[in-house]
């Protein structure tokens, strides 16, 4: 999430009641998660296992729960609860309506047809010559390109599935990102595409999604990706251009699937994949899977 106006280290520390290490006037441009964070942005970390990853990331502002040595060129925000305070920062700088207020400010391109039953959130942009079918829900800040088809009962821009367990309950990380759908995308019936936590979930140009597909927060689909029905892709994945994913594939979070890969139906993907064709409850090269099947039959 990018702030409308740059902030200072001192002003953010005051906002959340945190100590800070570094120049009080150090410029802060926004917040982001570890996998997408850039210089000028805040990343949070609240577990020693991930201290080094956060401190060595591109982030220049580290929101952390312990006083540590500050890397050169960076600053620290010391917080009792970085998860809570990350939410506080994001909520302060982003209006969260969740359909409780209809302010709209929508921009709709020429030649676009939107069925009267469609529900559109605030600050939505829809391009030219799109066709939005009945009962579609489009959440706040969604950006849709030109010549996009979204079929019935699809939900664009739901909350990220991102929680921590606190005092026996589940505590949500608030989603202030968006969904960006590029030109010439087709999305089938009853799909769900979650918005990013602090950045964008992206559906690349020319991609086609079948019915009943779930795309998790901050996932990036490349150009001309083809996905068959009942596939579930967790958050923070990178699906490169021209990947084909057949039905009922399940994919763990944070993975990268290389350009041109084919994932056959009912495959479970638990690791990043190089270009190839994959199948099996734990994805393996399809030819290797067939060789193993032959050997089993011969036993």
Distance CA 53, CA 284 (A): 29
8 A C-beta contact, residue 253 and residue 237: yes
Tokens encoding 69: 């040595």
Distance CA 228, CA 266 (A): 11
Distance CA 257, CA 261 (A): 7
Contacts of 288 (CB under 8 A, 6+ apart): none
Tokens encoding 249: 């594939």
State how beta strands 208-209 and 149-150 pair.
Answer: unpaired
Tokens encoding 259: 């350009």
DSSP one-letter code for 159: P
Q: Is 87 helix (H, G, I), strand (E, B) or coil?
A: helix
What's the burial of 247, exposed, middle or buried (CB within 10 Å: 0-12/13-18/19+)?
middle
Q: Is 241 helix (H, G, I), strand (E, B) or coil?
A: coil
Tokens encoding 180: 């960006």
Catalytic residues: 217
8 A C-beta contact, residue 262 and residue 287: no
């Amino acid at each position: 999430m990018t702030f409308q106006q740059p902030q200072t280290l001192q002003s953010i520390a005051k906002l959340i009641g945190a100590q800070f290490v570094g120049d009080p006037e150090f410029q802060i441009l926004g917040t982001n998660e570890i996998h997408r964070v850039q210089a000028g942005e805040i990343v949070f970390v609240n577990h020693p296992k991930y201290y080094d990853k956060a401190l060595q990331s591109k982030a220049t502002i580290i929101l952390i729960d312990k006083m540590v040595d500050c890397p050169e060129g960076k600053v620290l925000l010391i917080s009792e609860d970085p998860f809570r305070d990350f939410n506080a920062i994001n909520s302060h700088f982003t209006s969260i309506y969740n359909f409780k207020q209809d302010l709209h400010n929508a921009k709709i391109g020429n030649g676009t047809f939107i069925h009267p039953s469609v529900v559109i959130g605030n600050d939505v942009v829809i391009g030219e010559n799109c066709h939005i079918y009945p009962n579609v829900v489009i959440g706040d800040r969604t950006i849709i390109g030109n010549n996009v088809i979204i079929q019935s009962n699809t939900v664009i821009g739901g909350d990220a599935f991102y929680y921590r367990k606190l005092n026996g309950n589940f505590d949500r990380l608030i989603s202030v990102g968006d969904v960006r759908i590029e030109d010439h995308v087709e999305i089938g019936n009853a799909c769900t595409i979650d918005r990013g936590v602090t950045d964008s979930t992206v559906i690349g140009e020319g991609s086609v999604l079948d019915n009943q597909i779930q795309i998790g927060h901050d996932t990036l689909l490349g150009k001309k990706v083809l996905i068959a029905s009942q596939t579930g892709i967790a958050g923070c994945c990178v699906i490169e251009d021209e990947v084909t994913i057949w039905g009922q594939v399940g994919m763990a979070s944070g993975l990268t699937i290389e350009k041109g890969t084919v994932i056959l139906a009912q495959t479970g993907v638990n690791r990043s994949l190089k270009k190839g064709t994959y199948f099996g409850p734990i994805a393996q090269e399809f030819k290797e899977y067939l060789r193993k099947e032959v050997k089993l039959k011969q036993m």
